[in-house]
Each structure stands twice: as structure tokens, then as C-alpha cells.
Amino acid sequence: MKKNANILIYTFLLINSFFCLLLYSAYLLGWIQQVFTSDSSYLSYVICLIFFIIWIMSIYAALWINKEISYLNENKQIGFASEYVDLVRKKFSGNKSISYDHSLLANTFQVKLYLKIKYISYTANLLILLGLIGTVIGFIIAVGGLGDSLAGGQNLSRVQTVLGQIVNGMGVALFTTLLGSIFGGIWLQLHYEILSNFIEKFVINVIEKVESEIIPNIEK
């Protein structure tokens, strides 16, 4: 990690550039316009709005974690790692014991870091759930239209209107599910997995530093 201090940023740039390219391609093909025009429930707008807000927040989280990694690599006395080192020093200063177990502090340190990104995983699951809700709403619209078509009898204009309602309901069901799956189940979840991976590496590096540099000095 010291050789590639900004590898987290590069990873985020690569992943998000790929997804943005896919979105741009979908826009050129007219698929994005079709998603919004076909969704009479407006759940697609809700999903996109929530995704965009959390997407921005997850990028900010990536920048923050990258900054913390840089502080550790440059041995700066600021940031989460420095606070953890100070806590270890306070706990073991004047300790005559042979054992210097700081596992409880390490677990607390890890939890505090994960709290910074926990909302990403929650939102990813929420978007998937909203997509499923859209599926239910869409099928309700479609089934309602199917019932009307059966009652329409020989009235051709009414049957055509009802068929349009059925198609609209299927559009709501499919497009909201698609958006929830892509934005939540894939894009945001990928953000969360990448950040989790770098948090794990960061915690390992901090603990290794404490074990190899801080505790030996305390013992002296």
C-alpha cells in the first residue's frame, strides 16, 4: 500500500468510469428515456435520487479513507491511526505485564471505521427493495388492466386502452427492478466491497505498526 498510496482512488475512478460509460451508452440508445417515460409510479426517480446522493457520499468516504492511508504511510500524527496509537500508549504506559493485548482496542478501531461506510450497504439493499416494490406495483397495474380487458368485451377502443395499461404495468415492474438491481445490487455494493477491503488492509497495517514499532518502545 505504501507503493500505491492512491490505489483506492484509482480503483474508484476505474469502476465508476466503466459504469458511467455504460450509462452514457444507454442514454445514446434511448434506454434511459424509456425507463422514465415507462414508469408511471415514479419509483425510478426515487431510486435514482437516492442512488446519486449515496454515490456522492461513498466517493467522499473513499477520499477520506485514502487520506487516512496516506497519513499512516507518511507517519503523520493525525487521523484515526494516530488516535489508535495514542490509545495504545495510554493503555500500556507504565504496564509491567508481559502481555500487551490490544485486541479490544483493535476491534473498536475497526468498528469505528466500518461505521463510516455502513450506510452504503444499507442503501444498496434499500434500492433492491424499492425495485421489488416497483415490481409489485407494476404487476398490480398489469393485473388491474387484465381484469378490465376481460370486461371490455367487443369494445375495441377500451381493449386497446387496457392493453396499454398492462404494458405500462409491466414497464414499471421491469424497469424499477432493473434500476434497483444495477444501482443497489451492483454499483453501490461494489463501492462497499472495495471500501471494506481497503479498511481491512488499513486496520492490518495499523496493528502491524503498533506491534512492531509502538509496543517495543513502550516495553523499553
Is residue 196 scored above 70 in pLDDT?
yes
Cα angle vertex 97, ends 96, 99, to 5°? 145
What does each C-alpha distance from 7 to 72, 79, 198 come to in angstroms?
15, 19, 10
Please state, as a whole number, how many other Cβ atoms lie within 10 Å of the Cβ of residue 69.
Answer: 25
What is the rounded CA–CA span in Å between residue 147 and residue 144?
5
Q: Which helix (H) or strand (E) holds 97?
A: none
pLDDT category at 172 given cuts 50, 70, 90 is confident
pLDDT of residue 75: 86
* Domain parsing of the chain, residue ranges: 7-219
Cβ distance 41 to 134 under 8 Å?
A: yes
What percent of the chain clears pLDDT 70, i.e. is strictly above it? 81
Nearest to 91 by CA among 78, 83, 102: 102
DSSP designation for 208: H
pLDDT of residue 218: 67
pLDDT of residue 138: 80
Lowest mean pLDDT among 93-97, 119-123, 148-152: 148-152
**Residue with the larger pLDDT of the pair 178 and 98:** 178
What is the rounded CA–CA span in Å between residue 46 and residue 129?
12
Coil, helix or strand at residue 220: coil
What is the rounded CA–CA span in Å between residue 123 and residue 118?
9
Is residue 49 scored above 90 in pLDDT?
yes
Coil, helix or strand at residue 40: coil
Nearest to 199 by CA among 8, 56, 4: 8
Coil, helix or strand at residue 56: helix
pLDDT of residue 1: 46
Q: What is the pLDDT of the chain when averaged over all its residues?
A: 84
